[in-house]
Amino acid sequence: MATTDKHPNYMAIFWWLAVLTVIELGVIFLPTGKVTIGVLLCGLAVAKAALVAMYFMHLRFETRTLGLIAMTPLTIATLLVLLLLPDGFAVDHRTQATAPAASVQSK
């Protein structure tokens, strides 16, 4: 029995991933805040991960159940990050100023 599954154009997907990588490099130099840059980079990373998962892991051609199973760890990781993020902002992360090593005299 022959299958009629259409194979994806892997070179087109490669070029999309390359373009998204160049956009990520450009986002780093935007004159905006760190939070904005972080959100943009996370969005681009999710888009690239989705392309890789859909085409190189062949999830696009699988049943919906397998796709939902693959999305479960992403959902759990997102919830974990969102739950732990406020703890990171609750503590002031500043280093105490110390004397430079050159000013310490040796005997």
Model pLDDT, residue 102: 62
Q: State the 10-residue block means of pLDDT for the chain, 107 residues long.
A: 64 94 92 85 90 82 79 87 80 68 58
**Residue pair 54/60 in contact by the 8 Å Cβ criterion:** yes
Model pLDDT, residue 3: 47
Cα 94 to the center of its chain, rounded Å: 27
Model pLDDT, residue 23: 94
Residues 76, 66, 39: CA angle, nearest 5 degrees: 40
Local structure of residue 32 (DSSP, 8 states): S
Distance, CA of 23 to CA of 13 (rounded, Å): 15
Task: Please tell me the pTM assigned to this model.
Answer: 0.60
Amino acid at 98: T
Q: Which stretches within 52-95 are classed as H helix?
A: 64-90
